[in-house]
């Protein structure tokens, strides 16, 4: 059904599409953009491409769940073609099943040779969320010789030592500090899970996850992972580990607060606007850009071309009581620290000054390159500045104060920059 609805939208060219070296992708939730136009897709893709992201992993449900899936997948491929961007399908097995093999095969086959199709190791890249029991051998045999490279999410890295289901690599969802099964543990994130994947893959490509944050606040899903300085810690791990591919989690998953896109006025709202509206994350892209370039170059440190300051913090101290929250407090919040985080990206050393609310201003000597700091959170306005020889280079007040009252619990990050 999915393939038949979209096959006529473009002529299938016979192309040899070059893959990016050390590709970086971003997980895109196609299920929340039912009304997207091609121009909407191009807006997001242009922002991603500007920082070095090569393509989007299109997380999607089958048409029986989201009737607009065929149209939006087609729009994404067309927009990517126009921009010189790439995309690939990430089948969300919260909705797809092993009983959908024929439809999955048909969908993949429709796009295998599309000019915007992301490729890896000579095949059209395919991925998933969940789906460990999917038989990819059956999919491959149904593609009439069209080559695909299947790098799906795998939940248990130990299973990779004896895999027989036709996968060509693995993608991990362990993008935050956890002991497994969404258990919250003290941060910062380590490479514990990455190492397990690499040890069991036997040389097959590993697509490592990078995510800046995680907070979700639904009745059935209510916790915060301890990510505090993760935006730079995790990227440095990528420079040290040098995985074959990287997937940023995510571009636009507002429900889990790890979006790096702008606020996307045309996306659907599942209720997460309660903790994401007015909480921009786009400044994290400025922080990621030099790390992405360094990863692709095989460098051990990011290179900085202009002075910038990126900051983030939660809107309230973790012990703040909230007056009208029907869901309850988030699991894991007791492990959070009441801190304000700042990353400096400097061409030359400078003095960083941070004043958090009523607390005394603190000054540190920041070196050239990228460095991340934390400061004790204070109630009130948040001020940041960089200076050299007593002259301010950049800085100002954040547009969001830290307050000691709330109606609903919110452990999302407010992210800004100068």
Residue 14 placed within a domain: no
Task: Please state the pTM of the whole predicted model.
Answer: 0.95
Q: Are residues 274 and 316 in the same domain?
A: no
Give the Cβ contact number of residue 72 at 10 Å. 22
Q: Are residues 204 and 347 in the same domain?
A: no
* Domain range for 186: 24-297
pLDDT in tens, 54-99: 999 999 999 999 999 999 999 999 999 999 999 999 999 999 999 9
Q: Are residues 329 and 260 in the same domain?
A: no
Q: Are residues 175 and 50 in the same domain?
A: yes
pLDDT in tens, 185-243: 999 999 999 999 999 999 999 999 999 999 999 999 999 999 999 999 999 999 999 99
Q: What is the pLDDT of residue 16?
A: 43
Q: Which residue has the tokens 């400044």?
A: 283
- CATH assignment at residue 371: 2.60.40
Q: Are residues 293 and 326 in the same domain?
A: no
Q: Are residues 196 and 86 in the same domain?
A: yes
Q: Does 347 score more than 50 pLDDT?
A: yes
Q: Are residues 208 and 175 in the same domain?
A: yes
Is residue 187 within 8 A of residue 151, CB to CB? The reply is: no
pLDDT in tens, 111-147: 999 999 999 999 999 999 999 999 999 999 999 999 9
Number of residues that make up the chain: 418
Residue 3 placed within a domain: no
Q: Which residue has the tokens 């095989």?
A: 298
Q: Does 17 score more than 80 pLDDT?
A: no
Q: Are residues 142 and 255 in the same domain?
A: yes
pLDDT in tens, 165-198: 999 999 999 999 999 999 999 999 999 999 999 9
Question: pLDDT band at 265, cuts 50/70/90?
Answer: confident
Q: What is the pLDDT of residue 146?
A: 98
Put the strands of the sheet holding 308-313 in their side by side order: 369-376, 339-346, 308-313, 414-417
Domain end position, chosen among 270, 297, 324? 297
Give the Cβ contact number of residue 168 at 10 Å. 19
Domain end position, chosen among 269, 297, 325? 297
Q: Are residues 412 and 322 in the same domain?
A: yes
Residue 4 placed within a domain: no
Number of domains within the chain: 2
Q: Are residues 344 and 405 in the same domain?
A: yes
pLDDT in tens, 385-415: 999 999 999 999 999 999 999 999 999 999 9
3-state secondary structure 176-236: CCECCCCCECCCCCCCHHHHHHHHHHCCCCEEEEECCCCEEEECCEEEECCCCCHHHHHHH
Nearest Cα residue to 77 out of 6, 27, 146: 6
Q: What is the pLDDT of residue 109?
A: 98
Q: What is the pLDDT of residue 18?
A: 56
Q: Does 15 score more than 60 pLDDT?
A: no
Mean pLDDT score across all residues of the chain: 96
């Amino acid at each position: 059904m999915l393939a038949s609805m979209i096959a006529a939208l473009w002529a299938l060219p016979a192309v040899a599409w070059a893959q990016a070296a050390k590709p970086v992708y971003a997980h895109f939730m196609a299920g929340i953009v039912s009304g997207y136009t091609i121009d909407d897709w191009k807006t997001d893709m242009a922002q991603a491409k500007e920082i070095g992201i090569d393509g989007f992993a299109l997380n999607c449900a089958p048409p029986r769940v989201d009737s607009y899936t065929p149209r939006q997948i087609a729009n994404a491929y067309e927009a990517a073609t126009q921009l010189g961007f790439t995309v690939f399908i990430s089948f969300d097995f919260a909705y797809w099943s092993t009983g959908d093999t024929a439809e999955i095969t048909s969908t993949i086959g429709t796009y295998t040779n599309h000019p915007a199709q992301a490729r890896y190791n000579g095949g059209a890249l395919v991925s998933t969320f969940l789906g460990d029991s999917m038989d990819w051998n059956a999919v491959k045999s149904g593609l009439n010789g069209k080559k695909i490279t299947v790098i799906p999410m795998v939940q248990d890295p130990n299973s990779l030592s004896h895999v027989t289901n036709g996968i060509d690599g693995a993608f991990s969802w362990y993008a935050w500090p956890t002991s497994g099964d969404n258990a919250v543990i003290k941060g910062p994130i380590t490479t514990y899970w990455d190492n397990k994947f690499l040890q069991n893959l036997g040389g097959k490509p590993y697509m490592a996850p990078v995510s800046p944050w995680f907070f979700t606040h639904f009745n059935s899903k209510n916790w915060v992972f301890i990510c505090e300085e993760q935006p730079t810690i995790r990227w440095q791990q990528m420079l040290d580990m040098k995985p074959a591919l990287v997937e940023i989690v995510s571009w636009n998953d507002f429900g889990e607060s790890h979006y790096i896109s702008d606020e996307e006025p045309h996306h659907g709202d599942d209720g997460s606007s309660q903790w994401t509206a007015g909480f921009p994350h786009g400044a994290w892209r400025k922080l990621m850009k030099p790390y992405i370039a360094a990863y692709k170059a095989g460098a051990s440190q990011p290179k900085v071309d202009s002075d910038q300051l990126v900051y983030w913090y939660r809107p309230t101290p973790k012990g703040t009581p909230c007056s009208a929250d029907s869901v309850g407090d988030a699991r894991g919040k007791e492990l959070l620290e009441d801190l304000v985080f700042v990353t400096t990206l400097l061409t030359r050393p400078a003095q960083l000054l941070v004043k958090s609310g009523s607390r005394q201003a603190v000054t540190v000597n920041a070196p050239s390159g990228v460095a991340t700091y934390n400061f004790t959170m204070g109630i009130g306005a948040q001020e940041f500045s960089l200076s050299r020889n007593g002259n301010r280079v950049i800085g100002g007040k954040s547009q969001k104060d830290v307050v000691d009252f709330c109606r609903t619990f919110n452990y999302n990050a407010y992210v800004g920059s100068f």
